[in-house]
């Protein structure tokens, strides 16, 4: 039986509940956020387009039909689009840790410095 930990996050759009499995290997809470993302794999610089599903200080989960081998190094760009402007977060160094049909998990090589913005702007998340 899986143990779960529930908590509350405050966002500008109200209160959002998160649930995290206590057996989860992740060390950080994930924020559900939908945005476009591009992943460029090293060394051949082949790009992959995906849709951000969630992120944490340690990594991201992308919805994509493309696959990549675990251990592949990459650079991630996240684009947060609004009506009149967009926020571009690029040069996020990472490593593929999971590639399943429809999803790609990437671990950041350095802590994600902009995570607080996603808590604040959770109401700006693109429609699912």
Q: Distance between CA atoms of 72 and 78, rounded to whole angstroms?
A: 19
pLDDT tens string 104-114 = 999 999 999 98
To which residue do tokens 């956020």 refer?
Answer: 33
Helix (H) or strand (E) holding 59: strand 59-63
Q: Distance between CA atoms of 14 and 36, rounded to whole angstroms?
A: 23
Give the pLDDT of residue 32: 86
pLDDT tens string 43-65 = 888 899 999 999 999 999 999 99
Q: Name the class of domain 25-116.
A: mainly beta
pLDDT band at 10 (very low <50, low <70, confident <90, very high): very low
Averaged pLDDT for residues 16-31? 60
Counting every residue, how long is the chain?
128
Domain coordinates in residue numbering, the chain: 25-116
């Amino acid at each position: 039986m899986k143990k779960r930990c529930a908590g509350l996050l405050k966002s500008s759009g109200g209160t959002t509940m998160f649930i995290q499995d206590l057996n989860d290997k992740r060390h950080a809470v994930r924020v559900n956020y939908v945005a476009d993302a591009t992943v460029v794999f090293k060394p051949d610089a082949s790009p992959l387009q995906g849709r951000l599903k969630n992120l944490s200080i340690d990594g991201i989960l992308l919805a994509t039909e493309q696959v990549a081998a675990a251990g592949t190094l990459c650079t991630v760009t996240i684009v947060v689009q609004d009506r009149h402007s967009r926020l571009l977060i690029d040069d996020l160094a990472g490593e593929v840790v999971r590639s399943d049909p429809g999803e790609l998990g990437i671990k950041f090589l350095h802590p994600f410095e902009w995570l607080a913005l996603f808590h604040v702007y959770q109401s700006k998340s693109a429609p699912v």
